[in-house]
Amino acid sequence: MLKTYRGSCHCGAVKYEADIDLARGTNKCNCSLCTKSRNWNVILKPAEFRLLSGEQALTDYQFGRGVAHHFFCTHCGVRIFGRGYVAEVGGHYVSVQVMTLDDSDPVDLVTAPVRFADGRNDNWSAPPAECRHL
CATH of the domain at 85: 2.170.150.70
Lowest mean pLDDT among 19-23, 54-58, 119-123: 119-123
DSSP letter at 76 equals T
Determine the structural domain holding residue 95 and report its residue range: 3-112
Number of structural domains found in the chain: 1
- Is residue 98 within 8 A of residue 41, CB to CB? The reply is yes
Asked whether residue 63 is assigned to any structural domain, the reply reads yes
Asked if the model's pLDDT at residue 74 lies above 80, the reply is: yes
Asked if the model's pLDDT at residue 134 lies above 80, the reply is: yes
pLDDT for 88: 76
